[in-house]
Amino acid sequence: MKIITILTGVFALAINTLIGVIVIAYPQFNLHLNNAIIVIHTLLILAVLMINLKDAFRISLSFLFSTISLCMFICGFYVVPQFENNIFLIAMLVIVLFEIITLIVTNYITNKIK
């Protein structure tokens, strides 16, 4: 399952980069932002699979992180291409921080149950 996750992330990254090169209307900022979203969420899902979690946590976190990554990827197309005063970019960073904290808490709970 880990290799499938890595291959899916690499495939999505390649497709996104290829679309960014072909489509002129796809801004470079959004291309790099969506590439970062793909890499970060591939690593998060890989962390869910590698950490010793209970099966219910593993399935629910994989589904949750996949859904959030899809939503963030779609929103990544509409982010204004600037770093200053970019509320969508700040929201995306907060969501990623929330995912990391969720992963840490579920790992702590799983270790406490054992």
Cα dihedral 26, 30, 32, 36 sign: negative
Give the span between the Cα atoms of 31 and 84, in whole angstroms: 18
How does residue 43 score in pLDDT terms, banded at 50, 70 and 90?
Answer: very high
Query: 83 falls in which pLDDT band (50, 70, 90)?
Result: confident
Whole-angstrom Cα distance, residue 108 to residue 53? 9
pLDDT digits (tens, 9 = 90+) for 19-35: 999 999 899 999 999 99
Residue 114 has pLDDT above 80, yes or no: no
